[in-house]
Amino acid sequence: MSYRNYKHVVECAGVALVNDGRIFLIRPFYNYRPQSYAIPKGHLEDGESSQECAKREFFEETGISLEGKKLEFLTYVYTKISVNSVKRVVVYKAEGNGNEKFRGANLTKSGAPENIYGEYIAYEAAKDVIAGYQIPIITKLMENEVSSFDKFYTRKLGF
């Protein structure tokens, strides 16, 4: 599916906080129902860079500060939000220490929590619980876990 044909693109950014083959995911809560797990992410505000947005949203949705952490571009993911609109999320990768704890959540306009849970989940397990359009994030992370020599060895020698 080509996203170039959509008339409106909503720009978002998020962070894949990783540690030892695990990713920190949140469990959004919408209309009083738990949703699929996802990375913390959100919309860019006027004048804000995607990295600034990713850090701000991560803090707002988890209570965990990423100040001082290096954010590296990981990938883009897309999801259709209407007939003419698509959401494009630039995803950054940051290394966590493995001890981060979910401390809070944004509140919706109704006063209900936006996110109800957050934890580290192993990549393999994350593929089964993450929102469908975010599966490429896990795939990309799993590809990066293979050393460059192993990639070379497998590709060049046919193993």
DSSP secondary structure string, 65-123?
--TTPPPEEEEEEEEE-SSSEEEEEEEEEEE--S--------B-TTS-BSEEEEEEEEH
- Cβ neighbors of 123 (< 8 A, separation 6 or more) are 21, 22, 23, 138, 141, 142, 145
Please give the pLDDT value at position 4: 63
How far is it, in rounded angstroms, from Cα 37 to Cα 121? Answer: 10
- Give tens-digit pLDDT for 78-97: 988 888 888 999 999 999 99
Opening angle at CA 153, ends 147 and 159, nearest 5: 120
pLDDT for position 147: 47
pLDDT at residue number 28: 82
> Domain residue spans in the chain?
3-157
Give me the pLDDT at residue 67, please.
Answer: 93
Judge residue 118's burial from the number of C-beta atoms within 10 Å of its C-beta, 0-12 exposed, 13-18 middle, 19 or more buried. buried
Tokens for 6, please give them.
């959509």
Low-confidence ranges of the chain (pLDDT < 50): 147-159
CATH 1.10.10.2520 fits 3-157, yes or no: no
Contact 70, 94 (CB under 8 A): yes
Q: How far is CA 154 from CA 26, 47, 133, 150, 157, in A?
A: 34, 44, 28, 6, 6
Q: What is the pTM of this model?
A: 0.82
